Amino acid sequence: MRIIPAIDIIDGKCVRLSKGDYNTKKIYNESPLEVAKQFEDAGIQYLHMVDLDGAKAKHIVNYKVLEQMATQTNLQIDFGGGLKTDEDLHVAFESGAKQITGGSIAVKNPETFTKWIQKYGSQKIILGADAMDEKIAISGWQEESTEELIPFIQKYQQKGIQYVICTDIAKDGMLEGPSFDLYEKILKNCTQNVTSSAVEMQSNSIKLIASGGISTFDELPKLKELGCEGVIIGKAIYENRISLKQLETLL
């Protein structure tokens, strides 16, 4: 299971929110690059970066920060927040993103998002399936859509999506543990029935990345056991609930 620390950006600074509420913003470091380098020094290879200004503005904003981290570290960065147009996507990839995450766009403009999957391939496009009470939330979690979580994922599975980041918003930033039951339900319902080899079965399963609520190191092996392909860890690292030293043991 991949360990993926999160860096959320507002005004070029490294912040965390609780339940996606911008009023709960807490600045952890003025320099996201400094934080990224600490992760890299601990042996971390992956980074989840969210442009919270972009999510609000509905277009990419903090691409210069992305570029800085991509050129000055070797981290494989997946980037999301406000990606709405082909130009946004072009800027993100040009700035050094290895993957991009689309959430709101997948709900509001499925034609464009499907086109991105076809153009860039399922290795580069991640479906952001963030939910409150199993309903998809969009626009930096400021709006709830009518889309049901599992059918939403299944629909994009049919269109070739492999990577899915799912955040249970009620858990996000609360340090109360992740949604084990929800992830188990997703993995159970989003593994397509294939009767041939285990290899084919694997290729028809989504690569689920758990996100939100991680609070202790002991939760990580449980997520791995469930079948999560990766886990995004944010506030637990910044609040020293999980140390980089501990994470090194999993790398």
Which residues are part of the catalytic machinery?
8, 130
- 242 contact partners, CB below 8 Å, separation of at least 6: 214, 216, 217, 233, 236
Instruction: Give the strand pairing for 230-233 and 207-211.
Output: parallel
Phi, psi of 128 (to 5 degrees): -90, 110
Residue 16 near residue 213 (C-beta atoms within 8 A):
no
Amino acid at 221: P
What sign does the CA torsion over 74, 75, 78, 79 have?
A: negative
Strand order in the sheet with 135-138: 131-132, 135-138, 143-148
80 by DSSP, 3-state: which?
strand
Distance CA 110, CA 239 (A): 37
Supply the DSSP string of 10-30, one letter for each residue. Answer: ETTEEEEEETTEEEEEEEEES
